[in-house]
A and B are shown apart, each in its own frame.
Chain A
Amino acid sequence: MLSLTLTGLKLKNPLMLAAGIMGTTGGSLKRIADSGAGAVVTKSIGLEPKSGHSNPSMVDVDCGYLNAMGLPNPSYKNFQHEIDTAKEGGVPVIASIFGGCSLDFSQISIAIHADAFELNVSCPHAQGYGAEIGTDPILVEEITHAVKNTVDVPVWVKLTPNVTNIKSIGLAAQRGGADAVVAINTIRGMAIDIESGYPILGNKFGGLSGRAIKPVAVKSVYDLYEALDIPVIGVGGISDWKDAIEFIMAGAQAVEIGSAVGNNINIFNEISSGMEAFLSEKEWTLEDIYGMAHQV
């Protein structure tokens, strides 16, 4: 009932693990696959091993979470066996990758075997990477084009909301040949310890995820759906089946779930059951509600 084909990948449901969540070890990705996810996205992988920012790297700020992990990763040279282990979960494994320029992205994508790639041009707190690239349409188009020329699997581009007009970046990804865009990455934010005046995160600022950013993400998906011809994958604050339905109505063909996994590792099974019950009761299909908010 929830199965679909997304950029050529067959998924049993439209619920995927978002990048940066339990995605460093093959074992943790497999655990999420076994917990009902339709696909899993790895931690963002770069050229060289990286330890990330000093702690605190994540903090609960009541309305969501602030994080500045700093792209810790073991490098693409030490990651294929994790993907291979994750594949034992029986669902598509999407490699999230990052780099400082199109050459970095090509070098990594040519060496990694995955079911698809998600290009991280949207991390808000890594100097020289992520959103420092993803706010420039020319770079986004060039990088997307470079990876598309390198691999023969689908290429998704994950967008930052920290721009004036997310549609212009989405259009750049589409011109570069992207098979889909993923929206949104975290929103820049900061928290300060009032006992001492210290910014709490080791990196001083970071990205906001969780419930607080859902309306921003829904609006981004809604706008991208109107502007683009390629599919939009929604992510940002999904905590239950109603949130997932809302994103699909906004125009997301599938969604990714991140922060909410922390308190509920079984969230994928719960959301798929909830969606199935809702669709049955309404006598709707997934196709019926896809982009519904644009048609009413």
Chain B
Amino acid sequence: MDAGRHIWDGASSMKPINAEIIEVVEETPTIRTFFFERSFDPEPGQFVMAWIRGVDEIPMALSYDNAITVQKVGPATSSLFELGSGDSIGIRGPLGKGFDRKPGHILLVAGGVGAAPLAPLAEKASSEGMKVTTLIGAKTKKELVFRQRFEKAGNVLIATDDGSEGKYGYVTQLIDNNKDYSQIYCCGPEIMMKKVLDKVPPSKAQFSLHRYIKCGIGICGACCLDGLRVCKDGPVFSGDVLKKSEFGIYRRNECGERVKV
């Protein structure tokens, strides 16, 4: 896969390390950022396996060098939401391949909590002198994530499903003149990412995927999208690789059964 030159070297794959929570920030009514006392030194787009002891271990994008940003969606994230400063969880990572940063004017397309891996990319790209434009989509104004971080890094356009902020509609409707961009980076619900993929030159776009991940280290195959291991070959893939896959059509559930996206 060519969508990332930052290859995990195996040294960080050991047992979960203890990470103490030092601060919890409520980003939106359903999304919180958990800051840890230690940095994981990730490349933007890499993820960790977050172990809420006695409950579950789940893949989470790093939204800062020392933080994950989580939407409350199920038992594991609900348990995590009960934790606060002074509590700790186990962390394996950083894992996987992050975004491959290309010079020039880049476009970021964020949907909901999909802003989590894109915000550190915006900051890093901006600090390296790249021009950054970000399109943020959310259900409603209160659910916009990391707006100020993106605004500090460059231009921002917003779309909300209910029209409470920015354009009334989907973030994908904000994409135009994509020829102006050297690279397009996208993370959000899969249906939204598929729409982006259908709208832009696939070889110029990178997508951060979400799949059910078990081992996190490229062995078990539970997260495979056709032959691609989301945990190890990804989670970031280039659009031309995804174009030939079941991306946007099927995902696999915990049993490995095909489920329509």
Contacts and interface: CB of A to CB of B under 8 A. Distances in A.
Interface stretch (B31-39, B112-120, B130-138, B217-225): B217-225
B43 interface: no
B214 A262 contact: no
Interface string A26-69: 01101100000000000100000111101111111110010101
A198 B10 CA distance: 24
* B15, B222, B227: most-surrounded residue (chain A CB, <10 A): B227
Interface string B57-90: 1100000000000000000000000000000101
Contact of A56 (B14, B57, B255): B57
Which of A27, A62, A258 counts the most chain B CB atoms within 10 A?
A27
Contact of A202 (B14, B57, B226, B229): B57
A25 B18 CA distance: 34
Interface in A66-103: 67, 69, 72-75, 78
Contacts of B216: 58
Interface size class of A (residues with CB under 8 A): 35 or more
Interface stretch (B47-55, B97-105, B195-203): B47-55
Given A24-B222, A28-B224, A74-B257, A200 B56 contact: no
A198 B258 CA distance: 33
A283 interface: no
B252 interface: yes
B256 A191 contact: no
Chain B interface category by residue count? 35 or more
Contact of B254 (A51, A258, A261): A51
B254 A72 contact: yes
Interface string A134-175: 000000000000000000000000000000000000000000
B189 interface: no
B13 interface: yes
Contacts of B257: 49, 74-75, 78
B232 interface: yes
Interface of B: 10, 13-16, 18, 49, 51, 53-58, 88, 90, 92, 214-222, 224-229, 232, 245-246, 252-258
Interface of A: 20-25, 27-28, 30-31, 43, 49-52, 54-62, 65, 67, 69, 72-75, 78, 191, 193, 195-196, 198, 200, 202, 258-259, 261-263, 265
